[in-house]
A and B are shown apart, each in its own frame.
Chain A
Amino acid sequence: MVTVDARYSLVELMICAAARQLEDNKTAVIGTGAPLAAAMLAQKTTAPNLVILFEAGAMAPILERLPISVSGSETQTRALVHGSMDEVMETCQRGLVDYTFLGGAQIDMYGNLNSTMIGGDYRHPKVRLPGSGGANDLASLCWKTMATMQHDARRFVPKVDFITSPGYLTGPGAREAAGLPPDTGPYKVISTLGVMGFDPLSKRMQVESLHPGVTREDIAAATGFEMLFAAHLEITPEPTDEQLEILRTQVDPQGMILGKPERRKVG
Chain B
Amino acid sequence: MIELEGDIQPVGELFQSPDVNAAREFFRHKSRAMVDKRMGVREAVERFIHDGDYIATGGFGSVRFSTAVLHEIVRTRKHNLGFSGHSTTHDFQILAAGRVIDRCDIAYVVGLEIRGLSPNGRRFMESGAVRTTEWSNAGLGWRYKAAAMGVPFLPARVMLGSDTLRYSAGRLIEDPFTGQKLLAVPALYPDIGIIHVHQADIYGNAQIDGTSIVDLDLAKASKRLIVTTERMVETEEFRRDPRKTSIPYWQVDAVCHVPFGSYPGNMPFEYFSDERHLAEWVEVEQDEARFAAFLDKFIYGVDNFETYLALAAGEQRLAELRSLEILKRS
Given the known interface contacts A71-B60, A164-B164, A179-B172, the answer about A140 and B213 at a Cβ–Cβ threshold of 8 Å is: no
Q: Is A186's CB within 8 Å of the partner chain B?
A: no
Q: Which of A69, A73, A177 has the most CB of B within 10 A?
A: A73
- Residues on the B chain within 8 Å of A136, using CB: 136, 139, 158-159, 162, 164
What mask results when residues 103 to 143 of chain A are scored 1 for a CB within 8 Å of chain B, else 0?
Answer: 00000000010001000001111111111111111001100
- Residues on the A chain within 8 Å of B115, using CB: 68
Q: Does A56 contact B (CB under 8 A)?
A: yes
**Inter-chain contacts of A164 with B (CB < 8 A):** 162-164
CA distance A75 to B273 in the complex (A): 14
Task: Tell yes or no: B107 within 8 A of A by CB.
Answer: yes
B63 touches A69 (CB 8 A): yes
Which of A77, A130, A134, A141 is close to B327, meaning CB atoms less than 8 Å apart?
A77
Chain A residues within 8 Å of B163, by CB: 116, 122, 162-164
Known A130-B108, A130-B117: A86·B142 in contact at CB below 8 Å: yes
B 78-99 to A, binary, CB cutoff 8 A, 1 in contact else 0: 0000000101010000000000
Interface of B is mostly: loop
Point out the residues of chain B lying under 8 angstroms from A65, CB to CB: 326
| Cβ–Cβ < 8 Å partners of A14 in chain B | none
Of B138, B160, B211, most A-chain CB atoms within 10 Å:
B211
CA distance A32 to B62 in the complex (A): 13
**Which residue of the partner chain, among A54, A124, A127, A137, contacts B158 with CB atoms under 8 Å?**
A137
Interface size class of A (residues with CB under 8 A): 35 or more
**Contact of A58 (CB < 8 Å), options: B125, B126, B211:** B211
CA distance A135 to B111 in the complex (A): 13
- 20 residue pairs A–B, Cβ–Cβ below 8 Å: A32-B114, A54-B211, A55-B137, A56-B87, A69-B60, A69-B113, A69-B273, A74-B326, A84-B214, A86-B214, A112-B162, A130-B109, A131-B164, A132-B136, A134-B87, A137-B158, A140-B157, A178-B8, A179-B161, A180-B161
Which B residues lie at the A interface, using CB under 8 A? 6, 8, 59-63, 85, 87, 89, 106-111, 113-115, 117, 122, 125-126, 128, 134-139, 141-142, 145, 156-164, 167, 172, 180-183, 209-217, 266, 268-269, 272-273, 275, 325-327
Interchain CB contact (< 8 A) of A179 among B125, B134, B182: B182
Instruction: Please report A residues at the B interface, Cβ cutoff 8 Å.
Output: 32-33, 54-58, 64-65, 68-77, 82-86, 89, 93, 112, 116, 122-137, 140-141, 162-166, 169, 174-175, 177-181, 256-257
